[in-house]
Structure 1
Amino acid sequence: MVAAEVIAALKSRQAAFLIIRLLELTGYLYPPPAKLKNGDNYDYIIVGGGAAGSVIATRLAQQKYNVLLLEAGQDAPYESTYPSLMSYLKHTKSDWNYTSENDKHSYQCHPDKNAQITVGKMLGGSSALNHMVYSRGHPQNYEDWYWITNDTNWKWKNVLPYFIKSEAIHDSGILNSTQSECFFGTEGYIGVTRNENPFTDQFLQGFEQVGKHLINIIDGSELGYSRGLLTIYDQRRQDAGSQYLQHVTDSKYLAVAKGTLATRIKFDKNRTATGVEVITEENETIVINARQEIIVTAGAIKSPQLLMLSGLGPKNDIRKFGIPLIADLPVGNNFLDHIGVFIPHKTNKTLVKVETDPSKYPTGLFVGYAALNETRAQHLTFPDYEAMGLVFNNLDYLVQFCVSDNNFSDAPCNKLYDEANGNQVLVTLISSLYTESRGQVQLRSTNPRDPPKIFTGAFSDDRDLDDFVKYVNDYLIVENSAAFKALGASMVDLTKPKCDGFKKGSREYWRCYILCMMVSLQHYGGTCAMGSVVDSRLRVYGVNKLRVADASVMPTLVTGNINAAVVMIAERAAALIIEDAGAYNDVEHEQIKQDQIKNLP
């Protein structure tokens, strides 16, 4: 009954926030809505006002190009600005509310045995409704991109300046480190702070007691555990939409069309992208023309859908829907996501009554990166898995996180509430950072309003499942620590009776557990990958004047949360676009001192 009551209360509050939206309390952060006319012309049209689109639009407008930013949603609402209200955005008009296709294999403890695909539908996109965890990824991720693209510009030392340009680190542990001067930014638009919740420290002691390192810099580049870094500053979420676009709210060079759905990219006989067909907020279908380029930044699901509707994609799929083929490309293939396994521990620590503060992150948060082969890993500092721990001091929010955020059925979430018995709960999400499984995004129809088919491909390669078994067992070693024993921390099995047929702790049991208690971490990418759909300058193969610049171009996912990497890609894309237009670009001239570059991986 608890889950039903919590969700009813959640929906009631969401209805209240819907009324508050009418006041447009966040409107000052964004440019006013533009009114479009058929045949309007702009230098650049950017399709999708999420994190990447907001960054690129801002940078091009600052260079005095005439830019149109198309966004299907509206301004990010009031509740997006406060960290503790992040759950209230899901399953609303600010969320595309996708679900994956049922593969009869994964997500076995979810109501319809499929994944809830949460994607932001507003300015700022998913950066305005994610869990705000900040991670750049491991340097080796970008070395891998270099090998895939054969372009040294994607090497770690060459993408690092774009991270530095975008971020404003506000953490003394990082800023006082010897690496601070050359590795971290303090003047970018995205503020970053460390989780302040003290309840994590007692658990971190446990990892240290079983031989894990406690570290200051937790961005995937070093093995160990720490309080997590968050895109929160001055008590507000630092989403890319508000943090970038507020710098060009009054710019005469930027127009932002809200509530406007891009339906097709138009090409001339030379396969040059010339314009975008859209459905306006007034439900009028018109075409807007681009003098220079069209940049698609609609994310790992909408970007491939738009390309396929425009005739770019696997030829058999395109022709099946009667769409004229422009270029035969593997658009929609290589769908990637980080999968987390939900590991809850109840404790004997009584809940501490704290005043509710919407500006505070709602839980304690630690993040850890671990490797099974410590000898190899200490040389490469290369993690196999991530552990993200959330310490809950509010059991109603715990149930909300279980049912609404992660889409589990009511029964396991009710059991978790009962087992907690009024005490603190630690929920850890174990995630493999490198998987063999791949999914696919396909057209459902030629109607651009229809959601595409999303096949997650989760655990379609059996090796991934066995890897997860190893990672979960490695993580659970922490139960032997004095700190965890002092807390009375014991794992709560929420799979009953699903996995009762297997000996608890066996390989078969854990395989069943993982397929039952898996969740999407909402790190979607790969569907317009560099090397297969776009080149290393993010230009779509086989056509002219069309780029894609969002998470879909990642050939492999970076370690940890992907939001920082998406902003980096967008900063780099803006530099490429400006460079190709023949304009001076200060980013290309930003250099790390040569003696520091030599020390980079």
Structure 2
Amino acid sequence: MEHITNAASSDAYTSSVQNALSVLTTLHITSYMWMPETDVKDSVDAEYEYIVVGAGTAGAIVAGRLAQSQARVLLIEAGGDPPIETIYPGLALYTRWSEIDYNFTVSSQPYHHDCLEEPYFTLHAGKVLGGSSTISIMLYERGNKQDFQRWVTASNDDSWSWENVLKYFKRTEKMEDQAILNSPYRQYHGLDGPLIVTRETRMEVDAYHSIVQQLGGKVILDLNSNETVGYSRAQYTLKDYRQSTATAFLKASDTSTYLHLLKNTEVTKIILDDNNRAVGVKAKRNNKMYTFNASKEVILSAGVINSPKLLMLSGIGPKEHLECKGIEVKVDLPVGKNYHDHIGVVIAHRLQKSNETLTQVDVREYPTTAIIGYVAINESKKYPDYVLSGHFVYGKDAAKLPLQENAFYDRYRSCIRNTLYRESKRHNMLYAFISNPTPLSRGTVTLRSSHYKDQPVIDGNFCSVEVDLEHHIDFLQHYTRVQNTEIFMQLGSKLLNPIEKKCGKYEMGSRKFWRCYIMCMMSPRNHAVGTCAMGSVVDSKLRVLGVQGLRVADASIIPVIPSVGTYAPTMMIGEKAASMLIEDM
């Protein structure tokens, strides 16, 4: 990696690695690990009770649990088997912008265009067994009681409270961190679920814990518990290799006579009878159209973009919009509304020079040393004002990994990325993403056309509510106090400013400076929710309003975004949906 000296060489290096991995994919060297698919001809003739659309973060769980209850299930996935880069945590970066990533385009505002390579953001979503759990950054975060109380309010159903959904979090999980297992926090974790959860153990995190304590903050062993404010080592869904809902429910050893799986098959429409009952789906595979029938229910688990897209293509959505696209309206619902995501802003601190060189990458390890903070500006508050995701990178080549992350994840302009590289070269680094846990701004997902192949139009509308921006300024001013701590000064810390040309006219650290910085460096965190929200599109049992035999089970049903990433909450939704379906059998 010594040849990486700027943004262009970083892009070239990453592209070459992806090309090499793509060649390995064609050899199908991981195919033996995964559940084989059913002959499509057998599926057409079969009698299924349930059809699950999407073998992703929630869908794999729904289908797996239904099959375990001896229901006859067809699971349809648009993607294929997870390739080798999804197996090892150290290769996680290379799943983005690849063939297993939908790479949805999300509109940005004109003021972002000076800072981005393209005039849009990208929403990454997995087109592969396990869905986004197969390409995520593997951070396991649940959220707090207040998050789920908002769901209770929206759904008018107390079964979505923190106390009542905890069992569904635990059902999937197998916690293996000994410190947590030997503590009172053990009671908040699953011990025998199919998906392993571990905790960051590398000692570099201790330095940040000392900084937190100097600022009067609290270090917590486990933030996935009843604790709601503090800092903790990150928890991951990995043990030597990535843990996903594919590894948990769709391995070769999970093969069941009750569960049929079709891969590389794209559902194009939900079939409704004259009584608005879902009776099956139409799907395309190898350029042929097929019809599959369900005697009980169809469950959409296609994700926050594709679930509303399929509903609208099937005549379920905003009346005026569907009529504009020439689609017969079956049910008038606000499908695609309420789109929202966390907005993150990266802050880079250069630490002391390093005499060490990065060792050979261990692909089994998480690529950075991570800490999570749920931070209250007023320390007497019970719930966080902002969320911090901090990543330490060590060694004289420390700039290389974040450079690729910026190039791939946020698509900053080369001048911004080159500044970060130049300033951080041969230093240890701390990169922190500061996120607003409860944004008020809302966007939309609408159809581009009535053709299933066309990507929908996604308008993020980020920071359109002024208070979101004002709050983020507060968060950055609060977070950057770390540079005044004794430990940070001992480390020779320097706050890097990669956008000096754009924001240099403002005093660094002032509210005007941070406003300019946020408008340039903000990006969505790939935690999008809300497009088939409980209370407006589905009821508290996830049944689509005005339709029989049709449910949605994925992050699109979340009415108000939780304060953390949506990976663990979406798995919980899958478990709860499966439980409700089984209860209704």
Q: TM-score, normalised by structure 1?
A: 0.93
1:198 counterpart SS class: coil
Residue 238 of structure 2 is matched in structure 1 by 232
Q: Does 2:136 correspond to 1:127?
A: no
CA contact (8 A) 2:276 2:330 kept: yes
Residue 180 of structure 2 is matched in structure 1 by 174
CA contact (8 A) 1:197 1:365 kept: no
For 1:108 and 1:369, the matched residues in 2 are separated by 31
1:498 counterpart SS class: helix
For 1:351 and 1:254, the matched residues in 2 are separated by 55
2:190 counterpart SS class: coil
Q: After superposition, give the CA deviation of every residue in 1:528-574 in whole Å (9 maximum; x if it has no partner).
A: 00000000000000010000000000001112121111010100000
| Matched residue type, 1:240 | T
Residue 569 of structure 2 is matched in structure 1 by 565
CA contact (8 A) 1:534 1:548 kept: yes
2:312 counterpart SS class: helix
| Matched residue type, 1:562 | T
Residue 408 of structure 2 is matched in structure 1 by 404
Q: After superposition, give the CA deviation of every residue in 1:133-166 in whole Å (9 maximum; x if it has no partner).
A: 1111112211221122111111111101111111
Q: After superposition, give the CA deviation of every residue in 1:28-87 in whole Å (9 maximum; x if it has no partner).
A: 332212232456531111011111110011101111111111111101111101001001
CA contact (8 A) 2:36 2:252 kept: no
CA contact (8 A) 1:266 1:310 kept: yes
2:322 counterpart SS class: helix
1:404 counterpart SS class: helix
- 2:532 is aligned, of 528, 531, 534, to 528
| Matched residue type, 1:388 | S
1:6-45 aligned at under 5 Å gives the runs 6-37=10-41, 38=44, 40-45=46-51
How far is the alpha carbon of 1:242 from its aligned partner?
A: 1.8
- 2:274 is aligned, of 266, 269, 284, to 269
2:441 counterpart SS class: coil
How far is the alpha carbon of 1:106 from its aligned partner?
A: 4.2
- 2:365 is aligned, of 360, 364, 379, to 360
| Matched residue type, 1:163 | F
Q: Does 2:389 correspond to 1:388?
A: yes
For 1:457 and 1:50, the matched residues in 2 are separated by 26
For 2:403 and 2:552, the matched residues in 1 are separated by 38
The verdict on how the C-alpha distance between 1:399 and 1:535 changes in structure 2, with shifts beyond 3 A counting, is same
For 1:285 and 1:527, the matched residues in 2 are separated by 27
Residue 504 of structure 1 is matched in structure 2 by 508
For 1:22 and 1:166, the matched residues in 2 are separated by 32
Residue 596 of structure 1 is matched in structure 2 by none
How far is the alpha carbon of 1:97 from its aligned partner?
A: 1.2
Residue 144 of structure 2 is matched in structure 1 by 138
CA contact (8 A) 2:338 2:531 kept: yes
1:144-163 aligned at under 5 Å gives the runs 144-163=150-169
1:90-105 aligned at under 5 Å gives the runs 90-105=96-111
Residue 330 of structure 1 is matched in structure 2 by 334
The gaps in structure 1 that reach 5 residues or longer are: 582-601
The gaps in structure 2 that reach 5 residues or longer are: none
| Matched residue type, 1:24 | H
Q: After superposition, give the CA deviation of every residue in 1:353-399 in whole Å (9 maximum; x if it has no partner).
A: 33310000111111101112222x1xxx3111101111122322121
Residue 204 of structure 2 is matched in structure 1 by 199
Q: Does 2:442 correspond to 1:441?
A: no
Q: Does 2:315 correspond to 1:314?
A: no
- 1:451 is aligned, of 436, 450, 455, to 455
CA contact (8 A) 1:70 1:261 kept: yes
For 1:203 and 1:488, the matched residues in 2 are separated by 14
2:430 counterpart SS class: strand
Residue 217 of structure 1 is matched in structure 2 by 222
The verdict on how the C-alpha distance between 1:102 and 1:94 changes in structure 2, with shifts beyond 3 A counting, is same
For 1:458 and 1:534, the matched residues in 2 are separated by 25
CA contact (8 A) 1:107 1:515 kept: no
Residue 429 of structure 2 is matched in structure 1 by 425
Q: After alignment, is 40-49 or 509-518 more displaced? A: 40-49
Residue 94 of structure 2 is matched in structure 1 by 88
Identical-pair percentage:
38
How far is the alpha carbon of 1:329 from its aligned partner?
A: 0.5
For 2:300 and 2:113, the matched residues in 1 are separated by 31
For 1:505 and 1:250, the matched residues in 2 are separated by 57
2:290 counterpart SS class: strand
2:487 counterpart SS class: helix
- 1:483 is aligned, of 474, 481, 487, to 487
Q: Does 2:293 correspond to 1:289?
A: yes
How far is the alpha carbon of 1:107 from its aligned partner?
A: 6.3
Q: After alignment, is 236-245 or 350-359 more displaced? A: 350-359
1:485 counterpart SS class: helix
Q: After alignment, is 202-211 or 549-558 more displaced? A: 202-211
CA contact (8 A) 1:62 1:248 kept: no
Q: After alignment, is 423-432 or 171-180 more displaced? A: 171-180
For 1:371 and 1:148, the matched residues in 2 are separated by 25
CA contact (8 A) 2:375 2:384 kept: yes
1:497 counterpart SS class: helix
CA contact (8 A) 1:31 1:255 kept: no
Q: TM-score, normalised by structure 2?
A: 0.96
For 2:364 and 2:253, the matched residues in 1 are separated by 26
2:52 counterpart SS class: strand
Q: After alignment, is 17-26 or 80-89 more displaced? A: 17-26
Q: After superposition, give the CA deviation of every residue in 1:399-455 in whole Å (9 maximum; x if it has no partner).
A: 101111222121111111110131111110000111110111110111111111111
CA contact (8 A) 2:37 2:260 kept: yes
CA contact (8 A) 2:111 2:520 kept: no
For 1:105 and 1:519, the matched residues in 2 are separated by 13
CA contact (8 A) 1:210 1:480 kept: no
| Matched residue type, 2:393 | F
Q: After alignment, is 53-62 or 366-375 more displaced? A: 366-375
2:63 counterpart SS class: helix
